[in-house]
Amino acid sequence: MAAVQDGSTELDTEKETKPEILSDGSANISGNAGSGVLSSSPPAGGAQKPEEDQQTLIAVLQFLRRNKLTESVDILKREAGLSDDQENSKATDAGGKTDGDAGDTNALLSRVSIASAAAPQSAPLPLKSGDDQPDVRVILSAYSQQGEPPLYKVYYSDLKKFIESVLDCHRAELSQLFYPLFVHMYLELVYNNNESEAKAFFDKFSGDQECYYQDDLRVLCGLTKKEHMKGNETLLDFRTSRFVLRISRDSYQLLKRHLQERQNNQIWTIIQEHLYIDIFDGMPRSKSQIDSMSGSLAGEAKREVNKVKVYYGLLKEPEIEVPLDDEDEEAENEEGKPKKKKAKKDSLGSKSKKQDPNAPQQNRIPLPELKDSDKLDKIMYMKESTKRIRLSPENLPSICFYTFLNAYQARDTPLNLFLKLNLIDKESDDVLERIMDEKTASESKVLYGHGGPVYGVSFSPDRNYLLSSSEDGTIRLWSLQTFTCLVGYKGHNYPVWDTQFSPFGYYFVSGGHDRVARLWATDHYQPLRIFAGHLADVTCTRFHPNANYVATGSSDRTVRLWDVLNGNCVRIFTGHKGPIHCLAFSPNGKFLASGATDGRVLLWDIGHGLMIGELKGHTDTIYSLRFSRDGEILASGSMDNTVRLWDALKAFDDIETDDFTAATGHIHLYDNSQELLLGSYNSKSTSVVHLHFTRRNLLLAAGMYNSQ
């Protein structure tokens, strides 16, 4: 739906119908899927590829008609200039084409192999993308004409035997095929009502899958009926998106040869239709390399996805009239760690004037004007930062822990609870100014208005506003001056898991169960951008320190970085083995840390789009990550009742950024979690759900006491 912004006429029609689409579960998917494709290749009036566009249009029309949206059908037809005949003929054509594809597999195979030989880098399948996108039914029907399902077992075990027999270096790579093939075959069996076959298939091969897919397998094993598939959005997503594999050319050739020899068309078809094989030249990757990157619902990220330039530098600090020698405390961080010492010694003033080469244009995203009060606050901040404790592995922060008693089971008042939690957070954010009136007036305020529990809150940088996102699908803006609700932003139809203000205020981002993240401005009741692409819930959202990017973590086990300017996804980070629950940008904007239910913290280099570190140690979901104000320490709080401190400087220093790694994206991580771990602090039975570094680098932690 990012394409909505492009403003082409047909899509306007689609926009009109959007609310209805969203009201229907399955239709929602088609909307998302369609928009995803459209956004990647905007139709631009249907001039370049009229054939495919028409097909798409016809599919949309079919959908609308089926849903009895005759008005929309008429409008769309009028706008697109389609006649009924055209539509009908095209529809049959499309149907015939799919039939033809399925029927003449040999022809397809030969065509594909030619194509792949001709242009191996670009995957063979984009040509066909128009065919299987138009409609849900078409997608599902893709399964229906496949050959004898009972033979799947044979095929699969044949492939398995082959892969196990190849050289070690290839085996690891080709093993990646197991999981997606398994899932697709199983689904196909289920779809074709071969229930018992499906069960047998599942029982036989589910044990072979990587352990980190267990959660998915658990979902799969419950699914035994065709009817079940219709409502299951995750599986539909799995189908519509291609599972991305990264395989070296040698391994790919091996596989292809094998399949051709065996005339194993079933598997080849599945590979062609549902998998995206990203072929690279060079050494095959090792098992550990593959494992570190895989785990996501949709496979690894395509390499070209992460090639887009990201302006991760910080914006220039605004000039502030009041003379202060510590004016550029923030700017100092721009250059990143290695240069930091030098920067400290250098004349600090000149540093801040220079534009960071990696920073975006100052006005790339229009930012609100600084008010006088903001300036005062900046000054305050700088004053505070001079008093800040310099943290280092030898000088760890003190931790102040707020324990919420009697709150663990207080389900009825989560709003209250979370507000409390964050009032403390707020107090901590501006240590000196407002803590006083908060303390003197009352320690907590209850803001009534949501119809469900509040899952995410965020304070505006000037601390006048509070955002809260709730299960009731709304985001509310509260004034902290009057403690009343100012606006309710409606757009997400499902629970909103997280929301956050931009570092400069005005904008905010939210993400929820509807699998999209939305960018809002406080003075618009509709979202400015919709970031669609995640295959499952968007669980956490973060603004980049320069406000030009938004990072989202999702239950599909990927982290995506979105460009606020054009709504494009510019980075996809895969590697987590469980839903991601927290994200944190390093203060210099170069790095991103993410924590997930798998108990691991992964560190990412935004510029290169690489994973650069893995911090193991937690044994349960990590709910909170925070960098210290100068970025030396990373604190993580987890459900396992511990706060752990990590040496972030060291972790970032160790990056290997040679050209090869940067080009291929194949990182080799060695396990140095223990060296990086600076300390682990236990609470008795209080899970750590919130962390915060005050301006003076005191670490505040909060959690709910669990008496059981």
Partner 1 sequence: MMEREERRFVEVPRESIKLMAESIGVELSEEVAALLAEDVCYRLREATQNSSQFMRHAKRKKLSVEDFNRALRCSNTESVCGYGAQDALPFRPLKECELFFVEDREINLVELALATNIPKGCAETMVRVHVSYLDGKGNLEPQATVPTAVQSLSDDLLKYYQQVTRAILGEDPHLMKVALLDLQYNSKIAALLPYFVYVISGVKSVSHDLDQLNRLLHMVKSLMQNPYLYLGSYVRSLVSSVMYCILEPLAASINPLNDHWTLRDYAALLLSHIFWTHGDLVSGLYHQILLSLQKVLSDPVRPLCSHYGAVVGLHALGWKAVERVLYPHLPAYWANLQAVLDDYSVSNAQVKADGHKVYGAILVAVERLLKMKAHSLTTTAGGGSATLEGSVARSVGFRESSPGLSPPLEPISEPPLGIASHLHAGGAGCPWEDWTPVSLPAMYCELYSFFGDSLAMRFSTDSPQVGIPTALSCQQIHNRKEPASGATNLESTRKMPQLTANMNISPRQDESPHTEQPPSLAATAPGRSFARSSSSSVSRSRSSSSQAGRSSSQSREVFPKARFPPPQAGPPAFTFIIGGRQMGRRCQGRRFQTSFIPTPPLTSLPPRVYAHKLPVIGRVSKPVRRWTASYYSLYLPF
Residue 555 CB, shortest distance to partner 1, in Å, is: 7
Query: What are the backbone angles phi and psi of residue 9, rounded to the nearest 5°?
Result: -65, -45
Minimal CA–CA distance to 400: which of 634, 628, 643? Answer: 643
Query: Which CB sits closer to partner 1, 601 or 639?
Result: 639
Q: In this structure, how many other beta carbons lie within 10 angstroms of the beta carbon of residue 536?
A: 19
Query: What are the backbone angles phi and psi of residue 19, rounded to the nearest 5°?
Result: -55, -40
Interatomic CA distance for residues 119 and 281, integer angstroms? 13
Would you state the structure tokens that stand for residue 219, as one six-digit string?
A: 């979902």
Residue 400 CB, shortest distance to partner 1, in Å, is: 5
Interatomic CA distance for residues 76 and 286, integer angstroms? 51
Query: Which CB sits closer to partner 1, 190 or 275?
Result: 190
Query: Which CB sits closer to partner 1, 341 or 411?
Result: 411
One-letter amino acid for residue 381 of the chain: Y
Residue 402 CB, shortest distance to partner 1, in Å, is: 5
Residue 198 CB, shortest distance to partner 1, in Å, is: 12
Task: Annotate 585-607 with b (16+ C-beta within 10 A) or e (fewer).
Answer: bbbbbbbbbbbbbbbbbbbbbbb
Query: What are the backbone angles phi and psi of residue 689, rounded to the nearest 5°?
Result: -110, -10
State the DSSP H helix or E strand holding residue 705, giving kind and residue range, or none if neither.
strand 699-705
Chain-centroid distance of CA 354 in Å reads 33
Interatomic CA distance for residues 566 and 333, integer angstroms? 27
Query: Which CB sits closer to partner 1, 218 or 668?
Result: 218
Residue 672 CB, shortest distance to partner 1, in Å, is: 18
Interatomic CA distance for residues 318 and 307, integer angstroms? 31
Residue 164 CB, shortest distance to partner 1, in Å, is: 24
Would you state the structure tokens that stand for residue 691, as one six-digit string?
A: 């962390």
- For 94: left if phi > 0, alpha if psi spans -120 to 50, otherwise beta; the answer is alpha
Query: Which CB sits closer to partner 1, 106 or 409?
Result: 409
Residue 223 CB, shortest distance to partner 1, in Å, is: 7
Residue 150 CB, shortest distance to partner 1, in Å, is: 15
Query: Which CB sits closer to partner 1, 94 or 691?
Result: 691
Residue 425 CB, shortest distance to partner 1, in Å, is: 12
Query: Which CB sits closer to partner 1, 560 or 581?
Result: 581
Query: Which CB sits closer to partner 1, 217 or 367?
Result: 217
Interatomic CA distance for residues 37 and 53, integer angstroms? 11
- Measure Cα distances from 132 to 13, 80, 94, 143, 211 in Å: 22, 21, 10, 11, 31
- Measure Cα distances from 212 to 179, 553, 575 in Å: 11, 18, 10
Where do contacts with partner 1 occur on this chain (CB under 8 A)? 199-200, 203, 218-219, 221-225, 227-228, 231-232, 394-411, 413-414, 416-417, 420, 424, 443, 452-453, 455, 471, 494-495, 497, 513, 537, 539, 555, 579, 581, 597, 621, 623, 639, 645, 678-679, 681, 687, 689, 704, 706, 708
Residue 621 CB, shortest distance to partner 1, in Å, is: 7
Query: Which CB sits closer to partner 1, 541 or 597?
Result: 597
CA angle 88, 91, 94 (to 5 degrees): 150
Query: What are the backbone angles phi and psi of residue 623, rounded to the nearest 5°?
Result: -105, -10
Residue 93 CB, shortest distance to partner 1, in Å, is: 37
Query: Which CB sits closer to partner 1, 440 or 482?
Result: 440
Query: Which CB sits closer to partner 1, 555 or 558?
Result: 555
Interatomic CA distance for residues 259 and 372, integer angstroms? 69
Interatomic CA distance for residues 26 and 316, integer angstroms? 46
- Cα torsion 138, 143, 145, 149 to 10°: value is -170
Query: Which CB sits closer to partner 1, 455 or 627?
Result: 455
State the DSSP H helix or E strand holding residue 388, giving kind and residue range, or none if neither.
none
Query: What are the backbone angles phi and psi of residue 243, rounded to the nearest 5°?
Result: -70, 125
